[in-house]
Structure 1
């Protein structure tokens, strides 16, 4: 999922693929982060990002919901 931030022209990217063990994201400064599991990624997002940081704050909430759903399907 891509989220357009207020801080960068390059969108933030969150990729969660439990079947392939991929849990990554691209942050506002375009650096990447890898996580050992989706729960770790979700905790990082909640700790470091806020809806107001994005052009469409609703997309942030959609991201949280989508990742939670994806993790629920993999458990």
Structure 2
């Protein structure tokens, strides 16, 4: 799964990528820095600690992305 989320402070969207088949879990921040993770759970925990729904133009799409990741 891949999610592009428009952050209010950046023209470049944030990215959440979860690919269990290739064990690839990563995020791209509003400042275009990225971070890789060893598991989906580790990535979701990091997202919850570092991103806030109100940072995004559509907070509901952020919440939906986390729900989808948890259901994966």
Tell me the residue number matched to 2:42.
40
How many residues in Structure 1 have an aligned counterpart in Structure 2?
70
Q: 1:12 aligns with which of 11, 14, 18?
A: 14
- Decide which structure has greater strand share: 2
Q: CA RMSD in A?
A: 0.6
CA distance in 2, matches of 1:25, 1:51: 15
CA distance in 2, matches of 1:35, 1:7: 24
> Unaligned regions of 5+ residues in structure 1, if any?
71-75
Structure 1 residue runs of 4 or more that deviate by more than 3 Å after TM superposition: none
Tell me the residue number matched to 1:52.
54
> Unaligned regions of 5+ residues in structure 2, if any?
none
